[in-house]
Amino acid sequence: MLQRSFLFLLLGLVASGSVFGQSSPKLIRKSFQSQATDKERDYFVLLPSNYDPTQSYPVIFFLHGGGERGDGKYDLDYVLIHGPLYEAWIRHRELPFIMVAPQLPYFGREADYADRSPDLIPERVLGRVPEYPDDYRADRRLSGHSEQAELPTGIVDLPDGWSRCVEDLNQMLAQVKQGYAVDEERVYLTGISYGGFGTWQWAHHNPELFAAIAPVVGWGHPSLMEPIAEAELPVWQFIGGRDNVVEEELFYPGLNKLEELGHPDVRVTVHGDMGHLAWLRVYGGQDLYDWFLSHTRNNR
C-alpha cells in the first residue's frame, strides 16, 4: 500500500511538472488600466522553469504582429501564435527569460478580424512539440535589392499601431519590474511585422529602458534613429529577402541613418530564402537569445 501511494504521488508530481525540485514555466495574466483605450486590459507574463524570486532574470518584451491584435481579455490567447512566447510555452523551449507579451488594441479595426477563428490559437500539450508550417516561405522569387527606397507616406507613425501604446508599454514594464525578479540591466525588446515597427517606436521614445532590441520584418524610419544612436542601443534587424508584405529595400534608409549618426552596434541579417514568416527561423534558433544575453545596459 505504501509503495502504491508513493507511485501515485510521483505520477502526480510528474503530471504537474514538479518532480525532484523541478517546476514548469508559469503563464500568468496580468491586468492594467490602459491609457490607450481607457479600459482594463490583460497581458501575459511567462516565468521560466524553476523561477526563483530570490534570483534576477533577464526579460524579453515581445510585440506581436497585426494579425493578433484584440481586446486584451477574451482575445489575449492570440498572442501565443508567434514569437518567443510560442517557443517557450507551446514548443517547450527552456529559455532563461521572463517574457512579457501585450496585445495591440483594435483601434477601430474590429471588422477586419470578424472572421478570425480561435482554431488559430495553439495549445500547449505536454510531451508534444508542434512542427512549423511547411509553407513558411513566400511565393516571391529570390532577387537583389536597391538601397534607394522611396518610403511610403504614413508608415512612420502607424496611427493604429504600437506607437499609440507607448505609455501602456511603459506601465506594463514597470509592473513587471515591481512584481517579479527582474534584472533591469537585461531587458530586451523584439517584435514582428507591426511589432517590428513598434519595436523601433518604443525604442525611439525610451531607449534607456533596454539593453538591446531586435525588430523582425519591420523597419524603422530615419526620423526615429537619433535617440537610439545617442544611446548606442544595440540593434539586430532581421529581414526576409522574399518578403512580399514588407519590402526589403525599405529597411536600409533607417539603418544607414543609424550608421551616419555614429551608432557602433548595428547588426543586419537578411534571410534571403525567407518571406514574411522569417521570424520562425529567428525565434526558433538560438542565436538571438544568446546575442541578447551578451548585452547589458551598462556594457553595451
Residue 198, domain CATH? 3.40.50.1820
**Tell me, what DSSP letter sits at residue 222?**
G
pLDDT of residue 158: 76
Distance from C-alpha of 281 to C-alpha of 290, rounded to nearest angstrom: 15
Residue 243 is which amino acid?
A: D
The overall pTM is greater than 0.85: yes
Q: Where are the beta strands (DSSP E) in 71-120?
A: 98-101
Residue 33 covered by a domain = yes
Strands of 102-231, DSSP E: 182-192, 212-216
Residue 4 maps to a domain: no
CB 162 within 8 A of CB 63: yes
For residue 82, the enclosing domain spans 23-108+149-293
Q: Tell me the average pLDDT across 250-276.
A: 95
* pLDDT tens-place string over residues 48-94: 999 999 999 999 999 999 999 999 999 999 999 999 999 999 999 99
The tens digit of pLDDT for each residue in 33-58 reads 999 999 999 999 999 999 999 999 99
Helix%, strand%, coil% for the chain, nearest 5: 35, 20, 45
pLDDT at 155: 66
In a domain, 271, yes or no: yes
165-181: average pLDDT: 98
Q: Which three cell numbers stand for residue 261?
A: 549618426
Q: Which amino acid is at 118?
A: P
The conformation of residue 296, written as its DSSP 8-state character, comes to B
Q: What is the number of domains present in the chain?
A: 1
pLDDT of residue 154: 63
- Distant-in-sequence, close-in-space partners of 299: CB < 8 Å, separation ≥ 6: none
Helix, strand, or coil here: 220? coil
Distance of alpha carbon 255 from alpha carbon 266, whole angstroms: 8
Instruction: Say if residue 8's pLDDT is above 80.
Output: no
51 is written with which cell numbers? 523561477
Q: Is 51 among the domain residues?
A: yes
